[in-house]
Amino acid sequence: MSVNCCSQGSCSSTKNCPKCGNTSKTVGFKTVLHHLKFPHVLGAEESEYYFCSDAACSLVYFSANNKRITQRQISVFDENRAEKICYCFDIDKAVYIEALGNNSAEKIKQFVVQKTKASLCACAIKNPSGRCCLADFKKIESIEG
């Protein structure tokens, strides 16, 4: 049975990023593992990891036991991570802002909502934060609206 990523209780313990000081939330080991280049070489071990969402920071993940994973160690990691909204369906901020301007944003958002409700998303694997993107749509709407 697949689980809707938005319905999962997110254990949101936080820690400050040791590199930039950004407040960083926990992220599942499964997410970290799927984003690492050569996890067997890096010695990826199951631990409590945190995701630094600051796009300017070179550190992406860090663990409670001081394991640090940088942007260079992440595979297929979008260097413009601040511009990406939905990793599951490849929607970026510019596309959504443009859609807000021509009244097609609701169609985009409803597509993502429907696919998420049908458990067709893969946020825990595709999104480097391991979290659902739906809240990000609302943030952009409040800024651009």
pLDDT digits (tens, 9 = 90+) for 11-27: 568 999 999 999 999 99
Question: Residue 26 belongs to what H/E stretch?
Answer: strand 23-27
Burial of 3 (0-12, 13-18, 19+ CB in 10 A): exposed
Please name each of the domains of the chain with its CATH number.
Answer: 14-73 (2.20.25.270), 81-144 (1.10.10)
pLDDT reading at 73 higher than 60: yes
pLDDT at residue 4 is higher than 50: no
40 CB-near residues (< 8 Å, 6+ apart): none
Band (8; pLDDT cuts 50, 70, 90): very low
